[in-house]
Amino acid sequence: MANNQKRVGDGIELYEEFIKIEDSFGLLRPGDPLSDIWERLRYSVFSELRARQVQLKVEDAHQFPIASKTRSSWFIRLCVIVREVCNLYIFGNPIWAIFRRRKYAFWGHPRRKLEKDGLYWDIYTDLIIDRLGQDNCVSIERDWHGRHLTPAVTQNLFYQDSLDLIVGLLRRIRKPRLSDQQRRKLGQLAIALRESFGTDCSIRKRGARVHGQAVTQTVIFRLFLQLLQPKVVFLVTSNVHCSLIEAAKELGIPTVELQHAIVSRYYVVLSYEGDRQKRSGPDYFFCFGDLWKDAAQFSIPEDHIVPVGFPFLSDRLNQYQPFQKQELIVFLASKTLDDTLARMAAGFSEKYAGRIKVVYKLHPETRSMWRSLYPQLASAAENNHVTVVDGQTPTLYELLAQARWQVGIASTALLEGAAFGCTTFVLNAPGVETMSFLLECGMACLVNSEEDIDLTFSTRYMLNDVFADEWYDKIKRATEFVERKHKQV
């Protein structure tokens, strides 16, 4: 057991140095020439620095294995291309949404999950849309690694691709440029980053690209929202929707971010300490439960942070009860190319071979290349010591309903597993700082290796604090609260 041991490689020092640079440059002060650019780059730059901290190469790994190549005629390939173009730019064009004006507009998460019904679900928005009424809602989806997952369960679904195409074309025509002041400050920031972290994260090039995109994208979203006329905009992952939020603010349309990740001081999408301000931040934050209201310093008023529960999890908990627990331990990978957890799973499988079934659930970002990334895990899988889940099935919840124990580093799936009654172990590795509250309240046990995993250990779980109950009523009341607040402004 390692609960009292020092947490290693937790990125706390990196975070402190990061916000120190932020403060010295005043990057999030109102009126700063780089504030709009930095708000859009903050999360990606911090994520890259964290990845470099553990000497990892940041890659854009595709979520799904590449389909095997088969011979097909030019006619078949042409038909496939025509079908995709029609789906994205004609039938799925968001321009059609304008003629079906709805009260609520959703920008959900494109990384959908395949469920037993054979449909791809957006686990963060689909049940909320059902609660608010399908006829009242419209959904716009950005692409996920250049594709969309179909068939989707979501009704009134349109794709953002055509809007992105217009933005790309206008950028080439308008060619927005940085001011001399912005270029000069980006250069100074690049020097500071290099001195502190050994890399400038290509901040000048990225800053110029983000500026050009932001200027054009905000104009397009403002025009689109003017035509769509929603009363409320719901979104997931606000860091990729800065222009959408700014356009909505200009039009007086309230924006609501739906929680999808673990919120902590180190989650720089929402953590804005001190007097930091986020102009492109959402007006409201619908969180999973009361615990999250104090998990970070938000740039959102306290009464605008509303616990509503996690509808998809609550629904699936009801479906799987009573749980059929087995002698099974599941290792839940995070979005990292580090092999620490994989090596741990391989070591555990040797220690408990034949007694406990070991399952390693890959993160979607590493599914197509896990054998080369995790050679020890690959070897254990070949020897049938570990079952590696490298696809959509079995689903995460199927595994958690059966598992007695779970191990991970920093993943929302660990919270879901605890809700399914799994005893939780957190590996002492980079990223563990985001799980501090779990460890401090006894909801998880910190371990350094497979030797520290005590299968007799039991964790406690405060379900209603982490995931509020009665989501069905709370979602409706919270949405009505947003609408009332907006009318008062």
- 11 and 78 inside one domain: yes
pLDDT band at 335 (very low <50, low <70, confident <90, very high): confident
Residues 459 and 472 in one domain: no
Model confidence at 156: pLDDT above 50: yes
User: Which tens digits make up the pLDDT trace of 281-304?
Assistant: 999 999 999 989 999 999 999 999
Higher pLDDT among residues 471 and 465, named by residue: 471
Same-domain check for residues 325 and 456: yes
Inside any domain, residue 241: yes
Which CATH number do you get for residue 328?
3.40.50.2000
Taking every pair of Cα atoms in the chain, the longest distance, rounded to a whole number of angstroms, is 66
Query: Residue 2 has what pLDDT?
Result: 47
170: three-class secondary structure by DSSP: helix
Instruction: Return phi, psi of residue 43, to 5°.
Output: -70, -45
pLDDT in the model for residue 31: 87
On whether residue 141 sits in a domain, the answer given is yes
Q: How many other CB atoms are there within 10 angstroms of residue 328's CB atom?
A: 18
State whether 235 and 369 are in the same domain.
no
Identify the pLDDT of residue 70: 37
Nearest residue to 141 via CA among 119, 127, 171, 121: 121
Cβ atoms of residues 343 and 377 within 8 Å: yes
Q: Residue 390 pLDDT more than 70?
A: yes
- Whole-angstrom CA distances from 405 to 43, 332, 391, 414 are 32, 11, 21, 10
pLDDT tens-digit series, residues 372-386: 889 999 999 999 999
pLDDT tens digits, one per residue of 250-261: 999 999 999 999
The answer to the question of residue 268 being in a domain is yes
Model confidence at 82, pLDDT cuts 50, 70, 90, reads low
Mean pLDDT of all residues in 108-115: 93
Q: Are 452 and 478 part of one and the same domain?
A: no
pLDDT exceeds 80 at position 59: no
User: Are residues 295 and 384 part of one domain?
Assistant: no
Q: Could you tell me if residue 126 is inside a domain? A: yes
Question: Do 312 and 331 touch, CB atoms closer than 8 A?
Answer: no
Note the pLDDT tens digit of each residue in 397-411.
999 999 999 999 988
Q: How far apart are CA 369 and CA 337, in angstroms?
A: 10
pLDDT tens digits for range 415-449? 999 999 999 999 998 888 888 877 887 888 999 99
Tell me the residue range of the domain where 459 lies. Answer: 315-463
65 assigned to some structural domain: no
How many structural domains is the chain composed of?
2
- Both 328 and 193 in one domain: the answer is no
What share of the chain in percent tops pLDDT 90?
66
* Same-domain check for residues 194 and 324: no
The pLDDT value recorded for residue 79 is 56
Q: Could you tell me the two tokens for 75? A: 């006619």
List of residues 6+ apart from 104 with CB closer than 8 A: 129, 132, 136, 137, 138, 230, 231, 232, 233, 234, 479
DSSP letters along 9-42, please?
S-SHHHHHHHHHHHHHHTTTSTT-TTHHHHHHHH
DSSP secondary structure, 406-420, as one string: EEESS-HHHHHHHHT
Structure tokens at 220: 């397009």
**Which phi and psi (to 5°) does residue 122 adopt?**
-90, 105
Name the more confident of 391 and 234. 234
pLDDT of 145 reads 83
Question: How high is the pLDDT of residue 382?
Answer: 93
283 and 339 inside one domain: no
Q: Please give the sequence-ordered ranges of beta strands (E in DSSP) within 162-309, or none if there are none.
A: 232-235, 255-258, 284-287, 305-307
d(CA 97, CA 316): 31
- Compute the distance between CA of residue 186 and CA of residue 34 in angstroms, rounded to an integer: 8
- What integer pLDDT is reported at residue 19 of this predicted model? 95
Establish if 64 belongs to a structural domain.
Answer: no
Q: What pLDDT score does 362 carry?
A: 92
Assess whether 176 and 299 both reside in one domain: yes
Give whole-number Cα distances, 485 to 5, 283, 395, 433, 481, in Å.
47, 11, 39, 35, 6
300 in the same domain as 401: no
Say if residue 473 is in the same domain as residue 457.
no
**What is the pLDDT at residue 89?**
62
